[in-house]
Amino acid sequence: MSFKLPVSPLQENVTADLHCYPAKAKDMNAIALPATRVKDWKRQAIAKFDELLHKYRSLQVYMDICARCGACADKCQFYIGTGDPKNMPVARAELLRKVYRRYFTPEGKLLGRLADAEDLTEEVLQEWYTYFYQCSECRRCSVFCPYGIDTAEITMAAREIMSSIGVATKYVTEVVAKVYERGNNLGIPAPAWLDNCQFLEDELKEETGKDIHLPVDMEGADVLLVPPSADNFANTDTMLGYAKMFHAAGISWTTSTYCNEGGNFGLFLNYRNLKKVNQRILHAAKTLKVRQVVWGE
Ligand code: SF4
Ligand code: SF4
Per-residue pLDDT tens for 104-146?
A: 999 999 999 999 999 999 999 999 999 999 999 999 999 999 9
Q: How confident is the prediction for the chain on average, in pLDDT?
A: 92
Write the DSSP symbol of residue 24: P
- Give residue 21's pLDDT: 87
Q: Is 162 in the pocket of ligand 2 (CB under 6 A)?
A: no
Distances (CA, A) of 25 to 20, 29, 36, 37, 177: 16, 6, 7, 10, 11
By the 10 Å C-beta count (0-12 exposed, 13-18 middle, 19+ buried), 249 is classed as exposed
Of all residues in the chain, the percent with pLDDT exceeding 90 is 91
214: enclosing H helix or E strand: none
Q: How long, in residues, is the chain?
A: 297
Instruction: Compute the distance between CA of residue 44 and CA of residue 85 in angstroms, rounded to an integer.
Output: 29
| Cα of 250 from ligand 1 centre, angstroms | 42
- Give residue 132's pLDDT: 96
Ligand 2 atom showing the smallest separation from residue 73 Cα: 6
Going by pLDDT thresholds of 50, 70 and 90, the confidence category of residue 18 is: low
Q: How far is CA 296 from the centre of its chain?
A: 15
* Other residues' Cβ atoms within 10 Å of the Cβ of residue 40: 9
Fold exhibited by the domain 25-168: Fumarate Reductase Iron-sulfur Protein; Chain B, domain 2 (1.10.1060)
Residue ID of nearest Cα to ligand 2 atom 4: 69
Residue ID of nearest Cα to ligand 2 atom 8: 66
Per-residue pLDDT tens for 67-105?
A: 999 999 999 999 999 999 999 999 999 999 999 999 999
Angle of the 89-104 helix axis to the 151-164 helix axis, nearest 10: 60
Residue 12 has pLDDT above 70, yes or no: no
Q: Where are the domains of the chain?
A: 25-168, 175-295
Residue ID of nearest Cα to ligand 2 atom 1: 145
Closest ligand by atom to 90 CA: 2
Residue 173 has pLDDT above 80, yes or no: yes
| Cα of 130 from ligand 1 centre, angstroms | 14
Higher pLDDT, 20 or 265: 265
Ligand 2 atom showing the smallest separation from residue 68 Cα: 5
Closest ligand by atom to 144 CA: 2
Instruction: Compute the distance between CA of residue 267 and CA of residue 285 in angstroms, rounded to an integer.
Output: 21
Angle of the 57-65 helix axis to the 41-55 helix axis, nearest 10: 100
Residue ID of nearest Cα to ligand 2 atom 6: 72
Residue 8 has pLDDT above 90, yes or no: no
* 256 and 288 Cβ atoms separated by less than 8 Å: yes
Q: Is 140 in the pocket of ligand 2 (CB under 6 A)?
A: no
2: enclosing H helix or E strand: strand 2-4
Q: What is the 3-state secondary structure (H, E, C) of 99-131?
A: HHHHHHCHHHHHHHHHHCCCCCCHHHHHHHHHH
Residue 16 has pLDDT above 80, yes or no: no
| Helix, strand, coil percent content, the chain, rounded in steps of 5 | 55, 5, 35
By the 10 Å C-beta count (0-12 exposed, 13-18 middle, 19+ buried), 90 is classed as buried
Closest ligand by atom to 71 CA: 2
Going by pLDDT thresholds of 50, 70 and 90, the confidence category of residue 290 is: very high
Q: Phi/psi of residue 19, each to 5°?
A: -120, 120
Going by pLDDT thresholds of 50, 70 and 90, the confidence category of residue 6 is: very low
Residue type, 158: A
The stretch 4-11 carries a mean pLDDT of 41
- Give residue 20's pLDDT: 74
Instruction: Compute the distance between CA of residue 181 and CA of residue 176 in angstroms, rounded to an integer.
Output: 9
Q: Phi/psi of residue 71, each to 5°?
A: -60, -25
* Other residues' Cβ atoms within 10 Å of the Cβ of residue 238: 15
Going by pLDDT thresholds of 50, 70 and 90, the confidence category of residue 19 is: low
223: enclosing H helix or E strand: strand 223-226
Q: Phi/psi of residue 227, each to 5°?
A: -90, 165
This prediction's pTM: 0.88
| Cα of 59 from ligand 2 centre, angstroms | 14
49: enclosing H helix or E strand: helix 41-55
Residue 13 has pLDDT above 50, yes or no: no
Q: Is 149 in the pocket of ligand 2 (CB under 6 A)?
A: yes
